[in-house]
Structure 1
């Protein structure tokens, strides 16, 4: 089965998106990366990250807006979903882990189901 390439994005790539990456790092269904939209992010999002991803999961709508503004060509047709997770948590906070799982799993389930119906050529 083909894995889905998932890019998690928050502002500084410090707590939320690295937590999401850590949660799914050993999940055989997906390949994951995390990036931030801020110039001061630990790892700042690049056009190559967007090209790599099958789907982008952002923590807040401001991240989606920033990606669309900074990478209009690359992100125009890229599936992007807002998880609605505020910047209220530290890395691997139990509540943050639960919020990420409950928001991301339904999206990934749909994408994984679609990838089964439309296998790569």
Structure 2
């Protein structure tokens, strides 16, 4: 198996969706995970260092992707940012949210892992 992928999950307030995704994938041997929020009031606000760490960014809604591209144009220039299309309708670790996260996330992890590693 290839090296672990650094996956950054992003929502607005880093309260329910992205922390749930981080918890779901915390012990997955394929990935290292973090979660952040785009809002100033987020529990853990996203910073450029988070984007530099990430190999793959998975955002919950289109607005999060647009926000990252607008606020961090240099850091996101070559960074894959994918939208999971998960609305803000769930509490932390809600069973339906966990299922949506797994179904939406797995294709991106599988796709990223199947790519050839970059030549140093």
| TM-score, scaled to structure 2 | 0.96
Secondary structure of the corresponding residue to residue 96 of structure 1? helix
* Structure 1 stretch displaced more, 66-75 or 5-14: 66-75
**Deviations for 1:60-101, whole angstroms, at most 9, x for unmatched residues?**
000001111111111121100000000000000000000000
Where in structure 1 are there 5+ consecutive unaligned residues? none
Q: How many residues align?
A: 119
2:117 match? 118
Secondary structure of the corresponding residue to residue 68 of structure 2? helix
Shift of 1:112: 1.1
Secondary structure of the corresponding residue to residue 74 of structure 2? helix
Shift of 1:51: 0.5
Shift of 1:118: 2.3
Cα distance in 1 between the residues matched to 2:28 and 2:88: 25
2:34 match? 33
Give the direction of change, closer, same or farther, for the CA distance of 1:120–1:18 in structure 2 (3 Å limit): farther
What's the RMSD between the two structures over aligned residues?
Answer: 1.1
| TM-score, scaled to structure 1 | 0.95
Q: Between Structure 1 and Structure 2, which shows a larger proportion of helix residues?
A: 1
Shift of 1:120: 6.2
Where in structure 2 are there 5+ consecutive unaligned residues? none
Tell whether 2:27 aligns with 1:20.
Answer: no
Q: Deviation above 4 Å: which 4+ runs of structure 1?
A: none
2:107 match? 106
| Aligned counterparts, 1:20-99, within 5 A | 20-99=21-100
